[in-house]
Amino acid sequence: MPLSSMAIGIDIGGTNLRAARISGTGEILDRISEKSAPDPELVLSRIAEMVRRLDSPEVAAIGIGVPGRVDARLGAVLSGGYVNLASVSLAQRLESLAGKPVVIDNDCNMALVAEMALGAARGHESIVMFTIGTGIGGAVVQDRRIVRGKGTAGQLGHITVDISGEACVCGRRGCVETTSSGTALGRHIARAGLGPDVSVDQLFARDAGGDPLARGILEAWAGPLRAAIDTTVAMFAPDLVLLGGGLGLAAHRALARAPALAPWYQCPVEPAQLGDDAGVIGAGLQALAAQTSVATVSLPSARLDRASRAVPGRRAVLVNGIPASGKSTVSRGIAERMGWPLLALDTIKNPFLEVLGGGDREFNRTLGRASYQAIWSAVGEAPASTVFVVDAWFGFQPRQVLEDHLRRAGVEQAAEIWCHAPGEVLAERYRARLDQRPAGHPGAAYIPELIELAKRAEPLRRGPLFDVDTTKPIAFDVIAQWLQATIAADT
């Protein structure tokens, strides 16, 4: 599939329908939203119209995150909650209307796929996710793969927390969805005698001011969620529990009122990072992954199924950071552990500086641009299946220059390692190495500029990203595991 391929990702919620055109690296290029509805035919017509508005020749496929029980392998909605699409043959009818292949999955699975690729679950192997919205969705990942059972496992919103509790849309009573969803929070507020306009942020403010009524509401909302989390920890022993959805951050904050008590069932609980974008990003990535023969149960990091292709594409690990950020140490550590060739900007440039006797700063920059081009020329001449580690400050040239080099070199996939440290630390490192640099590199006069650069430098964020604070011990084993999951398909 060309690097320019895009997908449309759709997230169906009980309150809103969201859709976005997604790049192959998970970037949202355009987005729209509509109100949801309980009528499945109305929902389908609104989705079709959103697809029509977002469609373009570059769109290769459509992905849809659906609330309720979904058999992703069969492309079938088996049941729903607040929006039940089991009666409308969603995938088949949308394929007919749009003329593009359609992939469907549970909405929380889609959100977790996005968090694994770009968000809070990067680098984790075993994850449980709850999405807190109109209802509660759930997803489970073990060994970086969605747990599906016979097709519909992971319905964590229907963990029973009170066998005599509220009736649930699933037909049972006391599911955590009935106690800890956004809908349930509205009921807690109403039963406490407060008006429907009271927001969760107002509850936190009242609680901070000592209001026992607000505290009681938050405890009633968070306590059953804590019980459900403890249950999943006991079942799956994950290394991370994520709380996503529109109320995920608020639910994470409310859990402070309901701490885990049992020492056996402790696990870090964190808010998801991608917010309401997770569903559309994950759906788009899953749709593209399905078109490139990646099993939809795997992490969609734009990785191709190497067994289905005769010649795998080139891949690159972009170790990015400003001068003295520690990227050379990180690059060497990765290359040694993974057995991949390392190409560093200074490795190309320094021999020329030594032979030519150095030069002024402008000459150094010119030589840097030429060395950068030489790196990608070497990548383009290598066997197609090679994975390269490339060490450079990728912000020293316009972004489009890198994109052009990647395209010409035939790099099919890239992951980024972002190395950073405070400006004062970088200044100390740079000063300590001044006498080790060939003539032509900037001298001590560059240090104030370096400190300022550290304040504004940012990673590329063009695909999977791993953050490395080089003032701390570098967890090379964790980095290697992350690279194995995101880029090393057949090495």
pLDDT (tens digit per residue) in 122-143? 889 899 999 999 899 999 999 8
**pLDDT classification of 219: cutoffs 50, 70, 90:** very high
In a shared domain, residues 99 and 137? no
Q: Which residue has the higher pLDDT, 465 or 265?
A: 465
Beta strands 314-320 and 342-344, pairing class: unpaired
- Three-state SS across the chain? CCCCCEEEEEEECCCEEEEEEEECCCCEEEEEEEECCCCHHHHHHHHHHHHHHHCCCCEEEEEEEECCEEECCCCEEEECCCCCCCCCCHHHHHHHHHCCCEEEEEHHHHHHHHHHHHCCCCCCCCEEEEEECCCEEEEEEECCEECCCCCCCCCHHHCECCCCCCECCCCCECECHHHHCHHHHHHHHHHCCCCCCCCHHHHHHHHHCCCHHHHHHHHHHHHHHHHHHHHHHHHHCCCEEEEECCCHHHHHHHHHHCCCCCHHHCCCEEECCCCCHHHHHHHHHHHHHHHCCCCCCECCCCCCCHHHCCCCCEEEEEEECCCCCCHHHHHHHHHHHHCCCEEEHHHHHHHHHHHHCCCCHHHHHHHHHHHHHHHHHHHHHCCCCCEEEEEECHHHCCHHHHHHHHHHHCEEEEEEEEEECCHHHHHHHHHHCHHHCCECECCHHHHHHHHHHHHHCCCCCCCCEEEEECCCCCCHHHHHHHHHHHCCCCC
In terms of DSSP bridges, do strands 69-71 and 76-79 run parallel, antiparallel, or are they unpaired? antiparallel
Q: Look up residue 425 and give its two tokens.
A: 């630390």
* Residue 29, in any domain of the structure: yes
Contact at 8 Å (CB) between 46 and 37?
Answer: yes
Characterize 298-321 residue by residue with b for buried, 16 or more Cβ atoms within 10 angstroms of its Cβ, and e for exposed.
bbbbbbbeeeeeeebebbbbbbbb
- Global pTM reads 0.59
- Is the pLDDT reported for residue 489 higher than 50? no
From CA 285, how far away is CA 117, in angstroms rounded? Answer: 9
Lowest model confidence (mean pLDDT) among 36-50, 239-253, 439-453: 439-453
pLDDT in tens, 137-194: 999 999 888 998 877 788 899 999 999 999 998 889 999 999 999 999 999 999 999 9
Same-domain pairing of 337 and 377: yes
Q: Is the domain of 15 the same as that of 55? A: yes
Same domain flag for 48 and 147: no
- Percent of the chain past pLDDT 70, that is, above it, reads 92
User: Minimal CA–CA distance to 368: which of 397, 389, 343, 390?
Assistant: 397
pLDDT at position 168: 92
**Domain check: are 99 and 153 in the same one?**
no
The neighbour count for residue 336, using CB atoms within 10 Å, is 13
Q: What is the pLDDT of residues 4-55, one digit of tens each?
A: 489 999 999 888 999 999 998 899 999 999 999 888 889 999 999 999 999 9
C-alpha–C-alpha distance, residues 393 and 89, integer Å: 50
Please indicate, yes or no, whether residues 315 and 459 belong to a single structural domain of this protein.
yes
Tens digit of each residue's pLDDT (9 = 90 or more) over 375-424: 999 999 998 789 999 999 998 888 888 988 998 899 988 999 999 999 99
Which of 271, 295, 313 is the endpoint of a domain? 271
C-alpha count within 13 angstroms, C-beta hemisphere, residue 78: 14
Residue 162 lies in a domain: yes
Overall domain count for the chain: 3
Residue 215 belongs to some domain of the structure: yes
Residues 83 and 135 in one domain: no
Residues 436 and 372 in one domain: yes
Residues 94 and 142 in one domain: no
Share of residues in the chain with pLDDT > 90 (%): 56
Does residue 76 have a pLDDT over 80? yes
Return the higher-pLDDT residue of 79 and 197: 197
- The C-alpha angle with vertex 458 and arms to 461 and 27, in degrees rounded to 5, equals 20
On whether both 124 and 256 belong to a single domain, the answer is: yes
Q: Tell whether 297 is covered by a domain.
A: no
| Cα–Cα distance, 221 to 257 (Å, whole number) | 10
CATH number at residue 379: 3.40.50.300
* Residue 429 in domain: yes
Domain termination site, one of 271, 294, 315: 271
Give yes or no: residues 37 and 173 share one domain. Answer: no
Sheet holding 16-23, edge to edge: 28-35, 16-23, 6-12, 59-66, 102-106
**In which domain, by residue range, is 141 found?**
120-271
Q: Which of 286, 316, 347 finishes a domain? A: 286
* Co-location of 308 and 160 in the same domain: no
| CATH number for the domain that contains residue 188 | 3.30.420.40
**What is the C-alpha separation between 93 and 411, in angstroms, rounded?**
36
pLDDT (0 to 100) of residue 294: 35
Say how far apart CA 416 and CA 482 lie, in whole Å: 11
